Amino acid sequence: MMKLSFFPKLLSSASLLLSAALSSNSACAETYVVASQNIAYYPHYEFSAVKDRGYAWALLEAFAAERGITFEYVSMPVLRLQIELEKGNVDFVYPDHPTWTNPVNDNATKHFSVPLTESLVGTFVKPERYGQGISSIRKVSIVLGFSPLYWQDRIESGQTKLISVADNKSAIYMAQWDRADAFDMDYYVARYLMDKLDDVDEFKLDPDLPVTVVEFCLSTVRKPELLLELNEFITNNPGLIAMLKTRYNIGNAHYRLESIQAGLQ
């Protein structure tokens, strides 16, 4: 565990890096396009936002400031991300992972960064449904385009049905209105939304239902050298990473899951 006396120095260095990221880049800086799914996934990312675009954006901006480059952020449908990446119209896709598949390209043709963070994705239920087991979950609301493989066997057998919706907020309301028994979502995205919504129950992630930890990486086809520089930046700036995760309230996914399994939400 990090000693408290060491913490101010880390935060000071991290703050300087972040301040540099928020300053204007040189007009002659080389520009790269980073694309994400066109859904609000804050605090992880929300590239369509006007100002604060989430943790991944803040980290990439800090890297860009140090490197002397500029990132342009765009959002688009999931499949189009990979199409535009193949065409060369976007340079990077976030989030991505070597184990994820799509019908557009082969992961063998892509390069991946080290994880920028991890996502704890699980099944949220109302308090009265907590601990009732998987057999009680007949309908699960989820954002269109997401594929929860851990539900696949029950979906194929007809035991559970997915209800696809346009965004995470809609997924929560489907469960709130009992049109779904549960919703599938990242823990930190769900907590952020439920803190903002004053007309929904205090849904809880049930660790006895399907849950997983997913790494969020940056992928590219044509710019692998820049990913290597990003990897080095992430490795060399643990203080910045810690500060950003604290700012965006994104904890260690594995530790959070362990605490939830121990009965602490």
* CATH assignment at residue 145: 3.40.190.10
Q: Give the residue numbers spanning the domain of 130.
A: 119-212
19 pLDDT tier (thresholds 50, 70, 90): low
Mean pLDDT of 5-34: 57
Judged by phi (left if over 0) then psi (alpha if -120 to 50, else beta), residue 131 lies in left
State yes or no: pLDDT of 3 exceeds 80.
no
Cα 54 to Cα 51, 59, 63: the distances in Å are: 9, 9, 15
- C-beta neighbour count of 72 within 10 angstroms: 12
pLDDT at 10: 42
pLDDT tens string 134-188: 999 999 999 988 878 889 999 999 999 999 999 999 999 999 999 999 999 999 9
* Preceding omega of 43 cis (within 30 degrees of 0): yes
Judgement on whether residues 170 and 205 belong to the same structural domain of the protein:
yes
Total number of domains constituting the chain: 2
pLDDT at 106: 86
Q: If you count them, how many residues does the chain have?
A: 265
pTM: 0.87
Beta strands in 79-230 (DSSP E): 92-96, 111-112, 117-125, 139-143, 161-165, 182-186, 204-205, 211-220
Question: What does the block give as tokens for 105?
Answer: 């390209």
Judged by phi (left if over 0) then psi (alpha if -120 to 50, else beta), residue 109 lies in alpha
- For the chain, give the mean pLDDT: 90
Judgement on whether residues 49 and 107 belong to the same structural domain of the protein:
yes
Q: Say if residues 111 and 219 touch (Cβ distance below 8 Å).
A: yes
Judgement on whether residues 148 and 170 belong to the same structural domain of the protein:
yes
Judgement on whether residues 112 and 222 belong to the same structural domain of the protein:
yes
Judgement on whether residues 160 and 170 belong to the same structural domain of the protein:
yes
Cα 84 to Cα 13, 36, 77, 174, 194: the distances in Å are: 36, 11, 11, 32, 34
Residue 110 CB contacts under 8 Å (≥ 6 apart), including other chains: 85, 96, 98, 219, 220, 221
User: Per the domain annotation, does 32 fall within a domain?
Assistant: yes
CA 148, 149, 151 angle in degrees (round to 5)?
75
Judgement on whether residues 104 and 20 belong to the same structural domain of the protein:
yes
User: Per the domain annotation, does 264 fall within a domain?
Assistant: no
User: Per the domain annotation, does 257 fall within a domain?
Assistant: no
